[in-house]
Amino acid sequence: MMNLKIVNLNREHISDLVKIESEAFSCPWTESGFIEEIYNENARFRVAEINYVVAGYMGMYSIYDQGYIANIAVLKRFRNNGIAKKLMEDSFEYGNKANLEFISLEVRKSNEIAITFYKKMGFLEVGTRKGFYVSPNEDAIIMTKFLK
């Protein structure tokens, strides 16, 4: 991918992330939600830029020795170019440096494309959260990648 950079979230990215959220999710995050995460010491939000254009992002939290991916999304026009993979690899690199035991996430049970991607990235299905998602109501599959 030409000129792909993964950088820390800053205020200049917020409006682009809100657009990505509204394109990717039925219950998107708001501008104020992203702004709060800039100041959250447990949050690590990373942005994928291609030639200074925001193409995607990933938000992750780490608490003690555990990592949790809140969101990962790529604009439709940039999908299937390895951006999500680079964002995920960035989180694994961070997880290893931060001595995390594992990184977990939830994914809609019907999101077969994402589930397949997560499995390719080394995540295992470890549980279910009944009725976790709304609009529409749906169970979540809990997936975990063990780093140690």
Give the predicted TM-score (pTM) of the model: 0.92
Radius of gyration of the chain (CA): 15
Query: Which strands make up the sheet holding 53-63, listed edge to edge?
Result: 4-8, 43-50, 53-63, 66-74, 102-108, 138-146, 124-133
pLDDT, averaged across the chain: 94
Mean pLDDT value of segment 59-71: 96
| Local confidence band at 12 (pLDDT 50, 70, 90 cut-offs) | very high
Domain boundaries in the chain? Answer: 4-104
Mean pLDDT value of segment 29-34: 92
Fold of the domain spanning 4-104 = Aminopeptidase (3.40.630)
